[in-house]
Amino acid sequence: MIETVHAERFDHQAAHGRTEPLFLSCRRASGESIDVVAKFTWAHCTRGGLTREVIASLLLQDLGIPAATPLLVEFDDFLADSLQLIGQPQLAARVRSSVTPAYGSKVLGTGYALCTEDSATGSLGRQAADAWAFDQLILNPDRRPTKPNCLTNGMQIALIDHELALDVVGIGILVPAPWATPLTFLGSESEHVFERAIKGRGFDLGELEQRWRGIGEERIRGYAACVPAAWNDGTETLKEIVEYLAALQMNLSAAFDRLRKVLS
């Protein structure tokens, strides 16, 4: 479900981003080179954050929502040594302290820019509505007007960055479950970058609901099996995510009913 590549060359560090990702040239098993943006276990990205990235990215693939292609990025001392040689000792030390593999995604290419609320107008409205609903269901607080974490080339909206999603500790107790409460964007109306633009436009989310129904327990266990053992941080993060997704499947009708009420 998720491809593994090997880091070969450092290109540059991202200019922005709380997780301080690196742009790398990587090698596929076929020998082909691929441009990748990789997140390591430093800065504000934990092993649990990488786990959430993988699960969210695999969900997106099965739901048919455009997103950056997920990858596992293996690296060895060569990457840190090369960073040291080009005068990046701090990055070299960070790479050495990080677990392998890192989480990566294929660079989308040219022509993409950060989305705004206006990106949800016209023909991209359906994609924006699906993105909004997806974020509600995976409890993603990180797609706001000031930090949209999605890109568009005018023909599609591609979602990125999900390390803060699926934080399900206390769900149903400290955090309302999306099937058990009227929804706004995680309790704060119109904070999602697309919410204002998609409300009242008649998006019923029926196709997305049907695709989500096709994701059964075996498939969810398959997502979990893709998470590298090296990312086990001694917590119940992965187990709790699997349990949450199973509970969501059982309550999908109620969850989508609430989503539709918000959009009406």
Rounded CA-CA distance 183/199 in Å is 13
Statement to judge: residues 129 and 178 lie in one domain? yes
The answer, yes or no, to whether residue 185 has pLDDT greater than 80, is: no
Q: What would the pLDDT profile of 126-167 be if each residue is shown by its tens digit? A: 999 999 999 999 999 999 999 999 999 999 999 999 999 999
Cα dihedral value 98, 103, 109, 114, nearest 10? -90
Predicted pLDDT of residue 36: 98
Greater model confidence, 173 or 256: 256
Q: pTM here?
A: 0.93
- Between helices 252-263 and 125-137, what is the axis angle to 10°? 130
Statement to judge: residues 82 and 127 lie in one domain? no
Statement to judge: residues 231 and 186 lie in one domain? yes
Q: Are 193 and 144 in contact (CB under 8 A)?
A: yes
Statement to judge: residues 58 and 184 lie in one domain? no
The answer, yes or no, to whether residue 189 has pLDDT greater than 50, is: no
**Domain C-terminal end among 70, 89, 106:** 106
Query: What confidence tier does 17 reach under pLDDT thresholds 50, 70, 90?
Result: confident
Number of domains in the chain: 2
**Domain C-terminal end among 106, 129, 150:** 106
Rounded CA-CA distance 174/172 in Å is 6
Statement to judge: residues 99 and 119 lie in one domain? no
Q: What would the pLDDT profile of 89-128 be if each residue is shown by its tens digit? A: 999 999 999 999 999 999 998 899 999 999 998 889 999 9
Statement to judge: residues 12 and 123 lie in one domain? no
**Domain C-terminal end among 74, 106, 138:** 106
Predicted pLDDT of residue 174: 67
Statement to judge: residues 128 and 216 lie in one domain? yes
Statement to judge: residues 142 and 218 lie in one domain? yes
Q: Is 122 left (phi over 0), alpha (psi -120 to 50) or beta?
A: left
Q: Are 27 and 33 in contact (CB under 8 A)?
A: yes
Predicted pLDDT of residue 171: 80
Statement to judge: residues 173 and 129 lie in one domain? yes
Statement to judge: residues 7 and 47 lie in one domain? yes
Q: Domain range for residue 65?
A: 3-106
- Residue 132 phi/psi, 5-degree rounding, is -60, -50
Q: What share of the chain is helix, strand, coil (3-state, %, to 5)?
A: 40, 20, 40
Statement to judge: residues 58 and 156 lie in one domain? no
Statement to judge: residues 175 and 258 lie in one domain? yes
